[in-house]
Structure 1
């Protein structure tokens, strides 16, 4: 049974300009649900968009998985008045209806998890529903416009623990069989199954207020999943961690960066004590490649823009967990990893938002002993394990 997902994205957005590409916790909005989909039971995930920049991003950032593709969406189906269903029909036609289950994922629901996606798919595969969607059980009292209550007796107000609540569609995940979709041309039809998600996932991003709330919820969820254990990997950004963030340019391009030799010795000591060192940077710098070769750091990854997605891939490949990772970062594109790993560090001269979210703010600035300080901290920490 081939399970294909569509993530429809439009280039233009009236509520929040450039919403789908805007960074939330340091990552483009759409990448949150896309990454969760990659590690789900889906066989294929297609980003369907009229934005060439997003298509280019997909090709560059998700080369490590064969599950992700990008297709160009027509202008007619990317207007403010075009329905999601019309985009789904266009997409299905482009791929010649080559699926058994079609899953619709919404980028505006960044709190969607792999488990949520799998649960919806299971409604169809295991429980034999024709389609399924995610809902939230909210314990709010609802009213009609004429002043009459919809779901409770005003003269017999139930206690929260005695109130069944109200099931509300949260717009996160939908799935349908091919047969049902061909017949109805709708995201859900036939015998419909409901899959509950946590109440805080009711939020969909349509305003900057929604955005700020969702960002706090994402950071909180990542931090709550932390569990302390022995650190087996130290993952480092480069600019602003190995270096002070400055770079010297000539007419020919990048000329020089300054590195602290003591940092290199600290990393060598870690490796001698069976810790793996990983370097991950968004820049594609020959100078960095040369320095990491000198330091004998084999796990060096250059040009990584979506660091969180790639780190999830790395963790799976190494058969380890985020809890076994320490991370040093200094800027917003490190935020998701800062919140997710077992222990995160920020140099003393890191951006304020990173220092606010890091587990430990180092006393040393970048390129002046910050990495060495973190290495010594990790060695002492691992002694208890």
Structure 2
């Protein structure tokens, strides 16, 4: 069965301006669910949007996977009054209904995981439901406007552990067969299956308060999943890590960056201890490429904006895991990786927000021994780990 997903995005947002492109824990909001969809059992993921900047971003950023595609959404179906169903129908017509299962993913639910998506798909593919959705079991007591309780007897108030609770849509994942969608023109119809997600996923991002809550929840979830083992890879940002963040320009463009020679020696010694070095930067700089070539760092990846998704891809292709990685970063676009790897480091002169999330605040500043200090810490850690 051909399983595809649509992530509908609108350029304009009333509650939070440019919400879909705004960085949540250092990544554009839509990229959280998009990356999870890539690593799910879906065959293709379509971002359906009227925002050409997002289409351009996706074209450039997700070149490492054939799953992700971007299609232009009409102005008519991107307005304030347009329904999600109307966008789904327009999308289905554009691709000539070339699917067996259509999955709707919402960017405003960034807590969605690949496992959640797979569970919804399984309801249709293996359990033979016509459609399915994600829900949350909440133990809140609900009331009608006339002052009567909806879901419990107020004269026999149940204890939480004895209360079955109430299932509520969390707006994260929906799926339907093609036949059911054609007949009903709705995301849900006929025989409907339910997949429960964690109660924390009930928060959808509609306000800045929601935004702050979800950002904290995401950071906490990533940190909670951290595991420690021998470090096999050191992944480094460039500007603010290799360099002090300053760039010198001439009339012809980028002219010079300053690198610390001691850092290069530290990386050479680290490689002698069987730790592979990886450079991951959002800048596409010829100067950086030249310096990394001089340092003989073959795994140099330039122009990577969504560092977390790319690192997920890298981990998968190397048949390793985040616990085997150490990471040095200094700014918001490093946050997701800093919260996820086995050990994260940040230079002494880093940004304040990174200080709150990194595992280790180095005593040395960027371009002044920070990388060398990290290398020494990793070598010492691996030696202790191997003696256990």
What TM-score do the two structures reach when normalised by structure 1?
A: 1.00
- 3-state secondary structure, aligned to 2:31: helix
Q: What is the distance in 2 between the residues matched to 1:292 and 1:228? A: 28
Q: What is the distance in 2 between the residues matched to 1:327 and 1:276? A: 12
Alignment of 1:40-119 (within 5 A): 40-119=40-119
- 3-state secondary structure, aligned to 1:357: coil
Q: What is the distance in 1 between the residues matched to 2:16 and 2:382? A: 45
Deviations for 1:108-129, whole angstroms, at most 9, x for unmatched residues?
A: 0000000000000000011000
Alignment of 1:340-351 (within 5 A): 340-351=340-351
Q: What is the distance in 1 between the residues matched to 2:293 and 2:163? A: 62
Q: What is the distance in 2 between the residues matched to 1:106 and 1:75? A: 19
Deviations for 1:78-107, whole angstroms, at most 9, x for unmatched residues?
A: 000000000000000000000000000000
**What is residue 186 of structure 1 aligned with on the other side?**
186
Cα offset, 1:273, TM superposition: 1.1
Q: What is the distance in 2 between the residues matched to 1:77 and 1:287? A: 44
Q: What is the distance in 2 between the residues matched to 1:326 and 1:60? A: 26
* 1:236 paired to 2:236: yes
Deviations for 1:289-311, whole angstroms, at most 9, x for unmatched residues?
A: 00000000000000000000000
Q: What is the distance in 1 between the residues matched to 2:225 and 2:267? A: 27
- 3-state secondary structure, aligned to 2:170: strand
**What is residue 297 of structure 1 aligned with on the other side?**
297
* 1:4 paired to 2:4: yes
- 3-state secondary structure, aligned to 2:231: coil
Deviations for 1:300-330, whole angstroms, at most 9, x for unmatched residues?
A: 0000000000000000010000010000000
Question: 5+ residue gaps in structure 2?
Answer: none
Runs of at least 4 residues of structure 1 off by over 6 A?
none
- 3-state secondary structure, aligned to 2:372: helix
Equivalent residues, number: 385
**What is residue 150 of structure 1 aligned with on the other side?**
150
Cα offset, 1:183, TM superposition: 0.3
RMSD: 0.4
Alignment of 1:171-320 (within 5 A): 171-320=171-320
Q: What is the distance in 1 between the residues matched to 2:286 and 2:135? A: 49
Question: 5+ residue gaps in structure 1?
Answer: none
* 1:19 paired to 2:30: no
Deviations for 1:2-58, whole angstroms, at most 9, x for unmatched residues?
A: 001000000000000000000000000000000000000000000000000000000
Deviations for 1:139-193, whole angstroms, at most 9, x for unmatched residues?
A: 0000000000000111110000000000000000000000000000000101000
Cα offset, 1:376, TM superposition: 0.1
What TM-score do the two structures reach when normalised by structure 2?
A: 0.99
Q: What is the distance in 1 between the residues matched to 2:377 and 2:208? A: 39
Q: What is the distance in 1 between the residues matched to 2:184 and 2:57? A: 33
Alignment of 1:131-146 (within 5 A): 131-146=131-146
Q: What is the distance in 1 between the residues matched to 2:348 and 2:380? A: 20
Q: What is the distance in 1 between the residues matched to 2:22 and 2:134? A: 25
